Structure 1
Amino acid sequence: MQVIPAIDLLNGQVVRLKKGDYEEVTVYSDNPASFVKKFREAGFTHIHVVDLNGAREGRFMNLPVIENIIEKTGVSVQFGGGIRSRGDIQTLMDVGVSRIVSSSMAVQRPDEWIASLDIYGGDTCILGLDIKDGKMAYGGWERISDEDAMDFLGSMVRVGVKTILCTDISRDGMLTGVNSGLYNEIAQRYPMVNTIASGGVASTEDLRQLAIEGLYGVVIGRAYYEGKISLEEMLSFHEDA
């Protein structure tokens, strides 16, 4: 299982939101590159970055910060937030991003998303399966699709999606434990999909449970920031893909 440290960027700072609420912001650092350097020094070479400004506004607001992180730390970056077109993906590739995660593009511009899968491949284009009350959330989690999230995932698998980043929004930033039932449902219905879990991780027991269940990966943010899990503990569950 890949353990992927995560940072969320808002106005150039490392922050976390509670349940995706932009009014519930905790700031952890105003120097993202220095913050990420701790991950690199611990042994992690791949991180997850979300541009919260981009997710809500549909345009990259923290791109210089991303460039600085890559330049200063040498980590590979899996990026989400504000990706709306093939041009956006190419912009990210040009600054060194290795993988992209998108939900809005897949929901709002499916033809563009499918074309991107054909061009960049399912190993580069990761579907952000952000779930709220069983539906797909997108646009910084401020908009909800009418379609059932599991049905939507099925349609995406058929067009080439290989990997998903699945977030249970009700647990994001809450340290309430992972939604094993959700990940088990995905594994049963779509066993060919690589699932990266996101939201709710609160302890090493959560990591142990996800590893036992055979999750492809897990993103960890607040649990580390709040001292619930150490980098050493995270690394003990980590295996490169």
Structure 2
Amino acid sequence: MIILPAVDMYEGKAVRLYKGDYDQMTVYDDRPVNTAMKFRDAGAQWIHLVDLQGARDGGTPNMGVAREILEKTGLRAEIGGGIRSMEVIKAYMDAGFSRVILGTAAVTDQELLKEAADLYGPGIAVGADIKDGFVAIKGWKEKSEYTLEDFCERMAALGVGTIICTDVSRDGAMKGTNRQMYKGLTARFSSVDFVASGGVSSIEDVKALRDMGMYGAIIGKAWYTGAIDLKEAIAAAAGTEPGTETGAAAADTEEE
């Protein structure tokens, strides 16, 4: 399993929301590239970027910041937030992003989603943000008609290979991730790589997600508040921390 530390961008700054509420925003870094460099130095291979302004209002107001992060860190990056046209998708892909995440557009414009998936294949992922049992759109401000299961079935049928699934009620709440929800998803949709987002707040969460076969986990507030050490999380996700079977084998090799 891969770990994707997150930078949520708003007005060019790295911020975090509490349960998706724009009125409960904390600014953590006036220059997000500095945070991204810390992720790289801790051993991250991927970074998860979200343009919160774009998610709410459309457009790409933080594209410059996102490109600076990509260029200066050399990390593989996925980005979401306000991506609702082929022009924007192409701009991000041309800039070197590994994955573009469609959220609102995956619900409201599935012709666009199919066109993008046909063109860019695994470079297109979908964000499923779950609020009160339904997929939320437009920066989590509105609920769609899709339940999580219905939406994932539809996405799998369209050939989407990666879904970033967020339990909005746990995002930024530091109360643990929704293990039951993710366990059900991995068991039901074997053709989809699921990334857990929202509430990943301990190494125990990371290990549980790894053991149930999740493709990835996004770590946000838990790192910003110091609750999770990123190096430790990356090792746990890979199964190389002391005490695991892989980790024990590695230790034996080193002793020899």
Q: Is the 8 A contact 1:14 1:31 kept in 2?
A: yes
Q: CA deviation at 1:205?
A: 0.8
Q: Is the 8 A contact 2:101 2:126 kept in 1?
A: yes
Q: Is the 8 A contact 2:170 2:199 kept in 1?
A: yes
Segments ≥4 residues shifted beyond 6 Å: none
Deviates more, 1:16-25 or 1:185-194: 185-194
- Residue 43 of structure 1 is matched in structure 2 by 43
Q: CA deviation at 1:238?
A: 3.6
5+ residue gaps in structure 2?
240-256
Q: Is the 8 A contact 2:125 2:162 kept in 1?
A: yes
Q: Is the 8 A contact 1:85 1:113 kept in 2?
A: no
- Residue 224 of structure 1 is matched in structure 2 by 223
- Residue 166 of structure 2 is matched in structure 1 by 167
Q: CA deviation at 1:78?
A: 0.4
Number of residue pairs matched? 239
Task: Write out aligned runs for 1:1-241 (5 A).
Answer: 1-121=1-121, 123-239=122-238
5+ residue gaps in structure 1?
none
Q: CA deviation at 1:208?
A: 1.2
Q: Is the 8 A contact 2:210 2:237 kept in 1?
A: no
Secondary structure of the 2:82 match is coil
Q: CA deviation at 1:74?
A: 1.3
- Aligned-partner Cα distance in 2 for 1:160–1:77: 21
Q: Is the 8 A contact 1:126 1:163 kept in 2?
A: yes
- Aligned-partner Cα distance in 2 for 1:73–1:188: 35
Q: CA deviation at 1:190?
A: 1.2
Q: CA deviation at 1:149?
A: 2.1
Q: CA deviation at 1:88?
A: 1.1
- Aligned-partner Cα distance in 2 for 1:239–1:47: 16
Aligned residue type for 1:186: L
1:53-112: CA deviations, max 9, x gaps?
A: 110111000011011111221112100001001111001112221101111111111111
- Aligned-partner Cα distance in 2 for 1:92–1:126: 13
Aligned residue type for 2:21: D
- Aligned-partner Cα distance in 1 for 2:225–2:185: 29
The alignment's TM-score, normalised by the length of structure 2, stands at 0.91
- Aligned-partner Cα distance in 2 for 1:52–1:64: 14
Deviates more, 1:230-239 or 1:42-51: 230-239
Structure whose residues are more often helix by fraction: 2
